[in-house]
Chains A and B, each alone.
Chain A
Amino acid sequence: MSQNILAIAEQIEGVFRKVTFEALSEGRRIADHLGCELNALVLGDNIESISKELEQFGADRIIVAENSALFEYLPDAYGNVISDVINKETPDVVILGASTQGKDIAARLSARLNAPLAMDCVAIRFEDNNLMATRYMYGGKILADVMLNGKPQILAIRPNAMTIASAAGTGSIEKFEVNTGATLMKFIEKHLDTGKVELTEADTVVSGGRGMGGPDFAVIEELAQVLEGAVGASRSAVDEGWRSSSDQVGQTGKVVSPNLYIACGISGAIQHLAGMSSSNVIVAINKDPEAPIFSKADYGIEGDLFEIVPLITEEIKKLKG
């Protein structure tokens, strides 16, 4: 089989994740560099109709693995089908989004295929024909260049780190004959907050810290809402029980790199800074002029967040007319 790149798409209830388009776009750039095909793999049930969308991001062949057993993500069934596809296609590079699902399956596949894996990478380049992946370590405190030896090289890319580019791919649809193989796991149920913007994929994140003084995050939520962004929290706010741990930004929480990060009442502990320093623009609002967060923020506002944040929300509403 000739050289090729395989991008694994991720869809939830028939809607592709944004990071899937990022993975395809980056896959297209790698394929163009190598002068080879970019193929996409879509798994799920009743997904053929949405699969065609991937040709806009440069997919040449779109491999559709449709089966009712793939309706929900299960590591064993997905692992079996994806490795069957990889064994058939023998791609040089497998690229996918480092979402919770992407990280989970990438880790399992690396062991199944004895393949090198660069988890949560933020940049990919070629150096003397070797693929080099850049990724953060120590929760964002260090950047590492990692070289991968072996095949396929698995790249799980961090959401929001790479740009989406339109590119015309051949877009031919191919059905893959699915055999979920031996499986032991069962899906029971799920609870998704529909309509909530996922923290790691949000263009804007508004976070609250100890300065919130309690679980009432209404001012933060309102600002996040007008910005169509997500709400985050510092470790102190989570430790106090004011927010769920899934909202935590920092070395022991989520690492985010939105276009705009607004830190409200967050002093800026190292472990928090590690989780948001790669944001494009950082705004900090804090009562304490000495707060360390001001030394990392592009724009700082000294003052009472409960007074300033609602006024910012009003100003943005005016702006958006």
Chain B
Amino acid sequence: MEIVVLLKQVPATESLIGIADDGVSIKSDDIKWVINPYDEFAVEEALRIKEAHGGSVSILSVGSEKTVEAIRTALAMGADKGILINMPDGDVYDGLTTARILSAGLKETPFDIIIAGQRAVDDDNFQVGPATAEFLDIPHISMVIKQEITNGNIKCHRTVDGGTVVLEAPMPVLFTTQRGINEPRYASLPGIMKAKKKPIDMKTITDIGLDPETVGKPLTKIVSLKMPPERKGGIMIEGDSAQAKAAEIVKILHDEAKVL
């Protein structure tokens, strides 16, 4: 079973995000960069599939050279090799462009299953997984919390608004992970040592047969970033007893805030 994980490096979710002077990107200093949390589930699930069915796990990323750190972490968890499609720092690409690059990057890599996070927690596009599957002309199932593989088919439990749906598709297939699918393992010390010797293949846009000119012209463009309206702390409800506080808040929500 050849398994490919699409992996992105993102700012850790506990990071404070500020806007850079150009107004369209974020301040990158003081940020701790990590594997996108949903992609971490994808790496773990890939390793579990490999453990159950044999095969190998490749990590595929698009990004600057810094992304090597995230790929190395995935290799330390147990993945076999990495491929980085190297984009010079500062290049702006949207979800569709990322999907186009990833699918072109897979032209020479055999795969039965591709696993991606349901979204990256920086762009929040929810786009790259399904769009990559479309470019590769394979089925996809998103927001998966459980999968079963039998006879060349995969059955996935997918979360939908208000419940779960079970879908089945033949391989090759792409699925995206949802929280709840597994608990990602930590990289062990021997794992970290081994990861240093595992191969990471560095490629450029031209290497994978794309025109840098086209890739540089995404269909969506961020024209400005702003901080959301700052919420200021409001009123502390005073009262001699819990009963008094409860009565007061309900009165305020009804009479003043008018939300009841």
Beta-carbon contact of B164 and A299 below 8 Å: no
B133 CB contacts on chain A under 8 angstroms: 108
A11 CB contacts on chain B under 8 angstroms: none
Total number of residue pairs linking A and B with CB closer than 8 Å: 264
Distance, CA A302 to CA B245, complexed state (A): 9
Chain B 86-121, CB-CB to A under 8 Å as 1, else 0, gives 000000001110011000000000000000000001
Beta-carbon contact of A196 and B126 below 8 Å: no
Question: B226: nearest residue on chain A (CB-CB)?
Answer: A143
Tell me the residues in window 226-241 of chain A with beta carbons closer than 8 Å to chain B beta carbons: 227, 238
> Is B225 an interface residue when CB atoms closer than 8 A count as contact?
yes
Q: How far is the CB of A209 from chain B (nearest CB, A)?
A: 16
Stretch at the interface among A164-172, A180-188, A213-221: A180-188
Interface residues in A, total, Cβ within 8 A: 99
Beta-carbon contact of A188 and B127 below 8 Å: no
Q: Given contacts A184-B170, A190-B163, A300-B235, is CB(A107)–CB(B126) below 8 Å?
A: yes
Partner pick for A74 among B155, B167, B257, CB 8 A cutoff: B167
Interface residues in B, total, Cβ within 8 A: 82
Partner pick for A315 among B17, B96, B140, B246, CB 8 A cutoff: B246
Q: Given contacts A75-B139, A192-B163, is CB(A119)–CB(B131) below 8 Å?
A: no
SS of B interface (majority)? mixed
Q: How far is the CB of B2 from chain A (nearest CB, A)?
A: 19
SS of A interface (majority)? mixed
> Is B63 an interface residue when CB atoms closer than 8 A count as contact?
no
Q: Given contacts A100-B143, A111-B99, A251-B121, is CB(A140)–CB(B220) below 8 Å?
A: no
Q: Given contacts A117-B96, A315-B246, A315-B250, is CB(A111)–CB(B130) below 8 Å?
A: yes
Chain A residues within 8 Å of B, Cβ to Cβ: 17, 72-76, 79, 98-101, 103-104, 106-108, 110-112, 114-120, 132, 135-150, 184-194, 196, 198, 200-201, 204, 227, 238, 244-246, 248, 251-253, 259-260, 269-271, 274, 277-278, 280-283, 294-304, 307-308, 311-312, 314-316, 319
Closest 3 CB pairs of A and B: A311-B246, A116-B219, A111-B134
A-B pairs with beta carbons under 8 Å apart, 24 shown:
A17-B161, A72-B165, A99-B161, A103-B142, A107-B125, A107-B142, A108-B133, A114-B96, A114-B219, A116-B96, A117-B127, A137-B123, A137-B225, A140-B228, A142-B225, A143-B226, A144-B226, A145-B222, A149-B221, A185-B139, A187-B165, A227-B260, A271-B14, A294-B236
